[in-house]
Structure 1
Amino acid sequence: MLNKSHLKQQLLDTLTKQRDIAFSAASDAHNDATHEQSVAETQYDTVGLEAAYLAHGQSQRVAEFDTMINQLTAMSLRDFSEQDEVAIGAVITLDGSQQFWLMPMCGGYKLEGGKIVVVTPLAPLGKMLIGAEVGDTLKNGKVITGIA
């Protein structure tokens, strides 16, 4: 039986680890940008400026991870039956083996050792899945063989 709470926790753990890495990179870049050796000595000396841009970019990544973590934490999970249409939160099986978790964020992440791939409604596959049902053949020739 598929445990979506376990999948959610795997995804949260992955996002948290990546957020921590981005936070550390932002801190390092900020320290580099504000270090006394980063002060420009000539108009062509851009080490401090480049470090500041990097710090800003990494800080934006941290904010994006925070947003995804908060959205995922607040998201309630539901079980789907074979009679339901595909919607956000469904785990869809294609051709009896490939599994995708349709989520509003985190597209491309792999869970359960790569057995389940997160896909968003903005992705081409996600667009094909929304509203489909078990037994439907998608535009890519894949058949929906299960939903949970």
Structure 2
Amino acid sequence: MDKLFLQKQVLERLAEDLLQVEEAARQAHEAATHEENVAENKYDTLGLEAAYLATGQARRAEAIRQTMANWRRFHPHPYNASKGIELGALVCLVDSDEKQQLLFLGPNGGSMKLVSGAEPIQVISSETPLGRAMLGKFEGDEVSIQIAQIRQQFEVLRVH
């Protein structure tokens, strides 16, 4: 599995998200500054609400830009069996029901599902509970996480 191709897919998806958020911010800004939305009394808050929305969308756009910068600087390395799972690892986990899942451990902000061939791949950050639990593990090790009252356990089948 080509990790650089996965990284490229993440960046493409983030670029699409950025375009959508920038368009939403532009529309909200236009609504906030449109002459028909000037407040006529203290209860007329349409323009103010649009301004808040535009500000939130602008912040979201900046967060996506920062995430993209992190993913551009990210260089996934081949798996080093002496170090265990690190950032950039492609990990196959299996749960107690024998259900397998493929995870790509990347920098923050890129949580999404990708498809490579016919295989779905979940991109997760090392900051997530599962990402943190996998760090330093080796093939054959168990990974366990507690979410609320539920404990989930997995076995590391393969790492690339």
TM range (shorter): over 0.9
Contact (CA 8 Å) 1:83, 1:134: kept in 2 or not? no
> For 2:21 and 2:104, how far apart are their aligned partners in 1?
25
**Unmatched 5+ residue regions in structure 1?**
none
TM-score normalised to the size of structure 1?
A: 0.93
Residues in 2 aligned to 1:145 and 1:24: alpha-carbon distance in whole angstroms: 43
Matched residue type, 1:15:
L
**Helix, strand or coil: the match of 1:142?**
strand
Match of 1:43 in 2: 42
Write the mapping of 1:59-138 to structure 2, written as runs, cut at 5 A.
59-95=58-94, 97-112=100-115, 115-138=120-143
- How large is the RMSD of aligned CA atoms in angstroms? 1.6
Give yes or no for contact 2:11–2:71 (8 Å, CA) kept in 1: yes
Find out whether 1:142 has 2:159 as its counterpart: no
Conservation of the 8 A alpha-carbon contact between 2:76 and 2:87: no
Q: State the secondary structure of the residue aligned to 1:77.
A: coil
Q: TM-score, normalised by structure 2?
A: 0.86
Q: Percent identity?
A: 32
Deviation at 1:84, TM superposition (A): 3.9
The structure with the greater share of residues assigned to helix is 1
Structure 2 residue identity aligned to 1:146: R
1:81 CA displacement: 4.2
The structure whose residues are more often strand, as a share, is: 2
1:138 and 1:75 map into 2 onto residues whose CA distance is: 25
Displacement of 1:83: 4.4
Paired residue total: 147
Is the contact made by 2:74 and 2:107 (CA closer than 8 Å) also made in structure 1?
no
Asked if the contact 2:93–2:154 (Cα under 8 Å) also holds between the matched residues in 1, the reply is yes
Within a 5 Å distance, the mapping from 1:23-42 to structure 2 comes to 23-42=22-41
Q: Which runs of 5+ in 2 are unaligned?
A: 145-151
Structure 1 stretches of 4+ with a deviation exceeding 2 A read 81-84
The equivalent of 2:54 in structure 1 is: 55
